Amino acid sequence: MEDFYIVDTTLRDGEQTAGVAFSKSEKVDVARKLDEIGVDIIEAGIPIMGKEEIEAIREIMSLGLESSILTWNRMRKEDIDKSILAGAKNVHITAPASDIHIYRKLNKDRGWVLSELEKIVSYALEKGCDVSVGAEDASRADFQFLIQFYTVAQKAGVSRVRYADTVGRLDPISTYDNIKKIRDFIDAEIDFHGHNDFGMATANALSAFKAGAKYISCTVNALGERAGNAALEEVVMALKCIEGCESDFKVKGLKGLSEMIESYSGRRVSVNKPIVGEGVFSHESGIHVDGLLKDSSTYEFLSPRDLGRERRFIIGKFSGVSSIMHRYKELGVSISKEQAELILRSIRSRQSKVNITV
């Protein structure tokens, strides 16, 4: 299976989550951690935002990380100038692709978009930058215009084009079809950027990869505007475990990274959040625990050990005799099956009155 590349946008799109703002030191910490686990490209921020943003990006640039550092820019010369001021060598330029954005948001037309796109990309290239281009709201764009958009960017000399499902309207099948059709017309590498408004961002990212998008934009913990983005931890593990991709990602660092983002963003993940949730390797059902004790693959496709985590057996209403005997064994106490059955009856009786687990 061919390689994939992660474009982490926690420090840009993730920070655009309503009510979230990272300090400079927090941004530097996050960038270090992203680099440590093996993220290929870190979208570090938006220089046109001002002095503090520029200073944060400069400090991240000064770390000498192995990850490439990318800045996000509107299709304006002043944005490119601010990125250069921040020391950026890799710039991403976003331009509207749908008529909703072109006509209603900007009060412009398609011809203006194509003309400005060529002009600003050329300007950034002349300044010595490596340039990627994003089609904002690509999933609602007229397909023929979208191909014109990407063709202009490709001819201008961009290294990569982004397909943004800005409002999260796609499903996995339409994602695959759209990326596959674009791949037939465009030679440049494709970056898929999906939002999670209908809970399909990770599935859409996998479909985009299968269709030829080697670059996947993600955020840690699915942080992002509205319902968030494709979650880095989900995308990485799904590509490795489901698609069989080879990767040097240090996946045992995903839980620590998730906890860092929880702390800095003030946004807690749910206990059943895939990959990083506190409860995703916890089991109570007696049937499941009995199977797991015999062979862990009976009820786990993903091993907690691969992520540096531990499996937990919870004693509660749905526990079985095997769970009780295993728990006592962990405590160094041997009990009979009959004793375990008595203990289990007692636990079930108590839990029906008070909702507790052990």
Phi, psi at residue 132, to the nearest 5°?
-120, 155
d(CA 11, CA 199): 21
Residue 338: predicted pLDDT:
87
Residue 347: predicted pLDDT:
82
What tokens appear for 103 in the block? 């006509």
d(CA 261, CA 213): 27
Mean pLDDT of 262-268: 98
Mean pLDDT of 6-27: 98
Residue 1: predicted pLDDT:
42
> Does the global pTM surpass 0.85?
yes
Residue 358: predicted pLDDT:
56
d(CA 98, CA 110): 9
Mean pLDDT over all residues of the chain?
95
Domains and CATH numbers, the chain: 5-265 (3.20.20.70), 282-350 (no CATH)
Residue 276 has pLDDT above 80, yes or no: yes
The predicted-structure confidence for 159-211, as pLDDT tens digits, reads as follows 999 999 999 999 999 999 999 999 999 999 999 999 999 999 999 999 999 99
Residue 157 has pLDDT above 70, yes or no: yes
d(CA 249, CA 233): 10
d(CA 302, CA 293): 15
Mean pLDDT of 65-88: 98
Closest to 234 measured CA to CA, from 261, 266, 200, 267: 200
What angle in degrees, to the nearest 10, is found between the helix axes of 254-265 and 232-241? 160
**Alpha helices in 127-253, H assignment, sequence order:** 143-156, 172-185, 201-211, 232-241
Tell me the torsion sign for CA atoms 316, 320, 321, 323.
negative
Q: Mapping DSSP to helix (H, G, I), strand (E, B) and coil, where does residue 106 land?
A: coil
How deeply is 21 buried, as exposed, middle or buried, from its count of CB atoms within 10 A (0-12, 13-18, 19+)?
exposed
Residue 222 per-residue DSSP state: G
Residue 110: predicted pLDDT:
99
Top-confidence residue, 12 or 352 = 12
The predicted-structure confidence for 295-341, as pLDDT tens digits, reads as follows 999 999 999 999 999 999 888 888 888 888 888 888 898 888 888 88
Residue 356 has pLDDT above 90, yes or no: no
Phi, psi at residue 94, to the nearest 5°?
-105, 135
